[in-house]
Chains A and B, each alone.
Chain A
Amino acid sequence: MSSTHEIETKAIPASAGVPVAARSGARVRRVRTSWTPWWTAYLQAAPMALVFLLFFILPLVATVVVSFWNYTEYSIEPAFVATNYADVFYGCFSGGSALCTTFATYLSTLKFVAIVWVATLAIGFTVAYFLCFHVRTLPMQIALFMVCTIPFWTSNVIRMISWIPLLGRNGLVNETLQGIGLIDAPLEWLLYSDFAVALALVHLYTLFMVVPIFNSMMRIDRALIEAAYDAGATGWQTLTNVVIPLVKPGIVIGSIFVVTIVTGDYLTIGIMGGQQIASVGKVIQSQINFLQFPIAAANAIVLLAVVLLTIWGMLRLVDIRKEL
């Protein structure tokens, strides 16, 4: 694509039949490399660029701008003040022993990010490994892959709610455990708890880990596995010395999906936590409900910064370009 608008300033070959005098001086001209005009590529990229501009860049800019505005109980005024950010971090740097609200909220969210990341990575890697190395035929691989996506055929709210009859106080799990006499009283921590939140998040987002890891794994030349075996590697050594290093880009892409989604999640944490567990997304949502747009915007920008920092950190670990 770059060749279409590559503008080189080459001298015209002497055999062109033009008198030498006519070509002397600073006359140079574009050398055509294609019949397509150079701006065609930009035209092709334009619709997507426009969508990005309208629905991503502009709202983002608006959010940044609004985050510096002023607000009172009944009004929002254009301004350029840092009070919203000061409010976000109120009490955070005063040196007190207790954590400020923002840090505590982020810590709680990060706890879920860590749990969900570890769980989805472990499950996602295993599922991808099974699909890639143990399922031998392509039709079977495709069929099983479709099975993995079936939960996505319904909305994620419904998928969350369907945990309730299973995990509730009189749910299937508690009834069964009581039925076989393992417990006397229903387990309270099954629903509306950290456990329930982590479970639902893992359930919702494991596929985001499976897909990129599976994609990376399918690119591994099977001869490499044989070569490792030939060199005396055990199954575990092959996994750690060959497979994992080669699927690292897939792991990073999957991790980016999971980490960014979970960091901003408030719906799952809200529903599965019984509206009792704080999350950054939840804070922003309630501020919006109270029409406190400027501080909500400030919180959103801080969240964005945290997510971008995380992605930047992960990309430092692996050269993702190899995968694209």
Chain B
Amino acid sequence: MPSAAADLELAAVTKAYGDTVAVDRVSLKVPAGTYCCLLGPSGCGKSSTLRMVAGHEFISDGDVMIGNTIVNDLPPARRGTAMMFQNYALFPHLDVRENVAFALKMAGTAKEERLKRADAMLAMVDMSAYASRLPAQLSGGQQQRVALARALITNPTVLLLDEPLSALDPFLRIRMRAELKRYQREFGISFVHVTHSQEEAMALADMVVVMNDGRIEQVGTPREVFNAPRTRFVAQFMGGHNVVTEGASAYAVRADKLRLSPLGDAEAGSSPATVSDVEYQGMTIHVALKRPDGTDLLATLPEHEFDRAPVAVGDTVGVAWHPHDRHELAA
């Protein structure tokens, strides 16, 4: 179903509740057809940002632009956005077909026409067989598909998803994640997806926006954000990084870049550390280390490498990394 894809742009968008600022002058450009994930811990302002784009929250300051229109004062239906809610918010008294056709009914589309379009949309998300069921009779994954169909029936230019996978169990979450990505490709419109899971963001996004404390910390592809975290917060939030201080600067070093060697014939440049924990993870082994100055390090070793020189809790080993594996962080 073709919809005119459009760019989404936020210019110094701010949300203030009284004296507390939830979103602080956020500027962002999401090109048409992008899968964009707003990533951050709870309370970082990602949901407020999404809701301001959606039109469910007034914008305290700044502008939201979709295509060439400033949409600040438009109701959701006239912005060309559609929202998929956290628990899907399907109407419990309407069957699946009527849920999907709801927006068309509100717009005054004739019954026959709107049910036909709803059926076509249900066919796209593989839910035709469930058209006359009530939401309560569907599984979580099926509800998500219905919610998706309901949101897409108005041919939005941007689909906004508020933690869409958080209501699902881990297995289903991974499956529905793949489906979301597939639908985004098929429809060719932008998805803006709010999540607190860096794993989800990395798997889905073309563009990751890491937020903290109402501000954007970093924008980039998942690889850029993971391999070159700009700040200490990003390095720690993305996980798998050690933040070390050398001289006056802080650096991020990926946990899988750390090398351990026996203290007796430690390689050049290594420093001593005591093993405080060893966790078997299957393909890798996590070795937690404590340095004499009290800082913690995490080394992730492939199983075979660990087996070459096994360490146990209490051992003192030399730990080293290559200078080009470290990445300097902004203050």
Chain A residues whose C-beta falls within 8 Å of the C-beta of B90 in the assembled complex: 227
Q: Is the CB of B77 within 8 A of A232?
A: yes
Whether the Cβ atoms of A226 and B106 lie closer than 8 Å is no
Find out whether the CB atom of B93 lies under 8 angstroms from the CB atom of A245. Answer: yes
Q: Which of A223, A229, A231 has the most CB of B within 10 A?
A: A231
> Closest residue to A227 on the B side, CB-wise?
B89
Alpha-carbon distance A231/B54, docked complex (angstroms):
11
With beta carbons under 8 angstroms apart, the residue of A229, A230, A242 that contacts B91 is: A242
A226 to B55, CA, bound (A): 10
**Contact yes or no, A226 B92, CB < 8 A:** no
Q: How long is the Cα–Cα vector from A231 to B103 in the complex, in angstroms?
A: 5
Instruction: Find the residue from B89, B103, B150 having the highest chain A CB count within 10 A.
Output: B89
- Judge if B182 is at the interface, Cβ distance under 8 Å: no
Of the listed residues A226, A232, A233, A246, the one surrounded by the most CB atoms of chain B closer than 10 A to its CB is A232
A318 → chain B, closest Cβ, in Å?
A: 11
Cα A229 to Cα B76 in complex, Å, equals 7
Interface residue ranges of A228-274 to B (CB < 8 Å) = 228-234, 237, 241-242, 245-246
> Residue B43 at the A interface, CB < 8 A?
no
Is B76 in contact with A232, judged by CB distance below 8 angstroms?
yes
With contact pairs A223-B89, A246-B93 given, residues A231 and B75 touching in the complex (Cβ less than 8 Å)? no
With a cutoff of 8 Å between Cβ atoms, the chain B residues found around residue A184 in the complex are: none
Please indicate which of the listed interface residues A226, A227, A230, A232 has the most CB atoms of chain B within 10 Å of its own CB: A230
14 A-B interface contacts by CB (under 8 A): A223-B86, A224-B92, A226-B56, A227-B89, A228-B91, A228-B102, A230-B54, A231-B82, A231-B106, A231-B150, A232-B78, A232-B154, A233-B106, A242-B91
How long is the Cα–Cα vector from A245 to B56 in the complex, in angstroms? 23
One digit per residue, 1 when the CB lies within 8 angstroms of any chain B CB and 0 when it does not, for chain A 271-314 equals 00000000000000000000000000000000000000000000
Q: Is the CB of A221 within 8 A of B89?
A: yes
Q: How large is the interface on A (under 10, 10 to 19, 20 to 34, 35 or more residues)?
A: 10 to 19
Chain A contacts with B in 180-229, Cβ cutoff 8 A: 221, 223-224, 226-229
- Interface residues of B, Cβ cutoff 8 Å to A: 54-56, 75-78, 82-83, 85-87, 89-93, 102-103, 105-107, 150-151, 154
CA distance A224 to B94 in the complex (A): 12
Q: A residues within 8 Å of B by Cβ?
A: 221, 223-224, 226-234, 237, 241-242, 245-246
Q: Tell me, rounded to whole Å, the shortest Cβ–Cβ distance linking A166 to chain B.
A: 43
Contact B91 A227 (CB under 8 A): yes
Complex interface: chain B residues within 8 A of A246 (CB)? 92-93
Q: A312 CB to closest chain B CB, in angstroms?
A: 23
Complexed CA–CA distance, A286 and B8 (Å): 77
Extra contacts, 8 of them, besides A226-B85, A246-B92 (Cβ < 8 A), are A221-B87, A226-B83, A226-B89, A227-B89, A230-B54, A231-B77, A231-B82, A234-B106
A230:B77 contact, CB within 8 angstroms: yes
B54 lies within 8 A of A232 (CB): no
Tell me the nearest residue of chain B to A223, going by C-beta. B89
Contact between B150 and A229 (Cβ–Cβ < 8 Å)? no
| Leading 4 A-B pairs by shortest Cβ distance | A232-B77, A231-B103, A223-B89, A227-B89
Q: How far is the CB of B294 from chain A (nearest CB, A)?
A: 46
Q: Within the assembled complex, what's the spacing in Å between the Cα atoms of A20 and B102?
A: 63
Tell me the bound Cα distance from A261 to B83 in angstroms: 46
Residues on B with C-beta less than 8 A from A223 are 85-87, 89
How far apart are the CA atoms of A36 and B56 in the complex, in Å?
52
Q: Kindly state the separation between the CA atoms of A241 and B103 in the bound complex, as whole angstroms.
A: 11
Q: Which residues of A contact B54 (CB under 8 A)?
A: 230
User: Which residues of the partner chain B approach A230 to less than 8 Å between Cβ atoms?
Assistant: 54-56, 76-77, 82-83, 151
* Bound complex: CA A245 to CA B87 (Å): 20
Q: Are B56 and A232 in contact (CB under 8 A)?
A: no
Tell me the smallest distance from the CB of B53 to a CB of chain A, in Å: 12
How far does the alpha carbon of A230 sit from the alpha carbon of B82 in the complex, in Å?
Answer: 7
Q: Which residues of A contact B82 (CB under 8 A)?
A: 230-231
CB-defined contacts of B91 to chain A, threshold 8 Å: 224, 227-228, 242
A244: nearest chain-B partner, CB-CB: B93
Bound Cα distance from A245 to B85, whole angstroms: 21
Closest residue of chain A to B87 (Cβ to Cβ) is A223
Residues of B within 8 A of A234 (CB): 106
On whether the beta carbons of A229 and B56 are closer than 8 Å, the reply is: yes
Residues of B within 8 A of A229 (CB): 56, 75-76
Specify the chain A residue showing the minimal Cβ separation from B153.
Answer: A231
Chain B residues whose CB sits within 8 angstroms of the CB of A233 once the complex forms: 102, 106
Q: Shortest Cβ distance from A152 into chain B, in angstroms?
A: 32
Name the CB-closest residue of A to B77: A232
B30 → chain A closest CB, angstroms: 19
**Which chain B residue shows the least CB distance to A219?**
B92
Determine the chain A residues whose CB is within 8 A of the CB of B89 once the complex forms. 221, 223-224, 226-227
Which residue in chain A gives the minimum CB-CB distance to B51? Answer: A226
Return the chain A residue nearest B78 by Cβ.
A232
Select from chain B the residue with minimum beta-carbon distance to A242.
B91
Q: Distance (Å) between the CB of B174 and the closest chain A CB?
A: 25
Residue of B nearest to A248 (CB): B93
Tell me which residues across on chain A come within 8 A of B151, comparing CB atoms.
230
Give complex CA distance A221, B151 in Å. Answer: 18
Q: How far is the CA of A223 from the CA of B90 in the complex (A)?
A: 9
A179 vs chain B, min Cβ distance (A): 48
Distance in angstroms between the alpha carbons of A228 and B103 in the assembled complex: 8
A299 to B301, CA, bound (A): 89
Cα(A261)–Cα(B87), bound, Å = 41
Of all chain B residues, the one with the shortest Cβ separation from A232 is B77
In the bound complex, residues from chain A placing their C-beta under 8 Å from that of B103 are 231-232
Report the bound CA distance from A84 to B77 in whole Å: 66
Question: In the complex, what residue of chain B is closest to A221 when comparing beta carbons?
Answer: B89
Min CB distance B98 to A, Å, is 10
CA distance A223 to B56 in the complex (A): 11
Cα distance A242–B93 when bound, in Å? 8
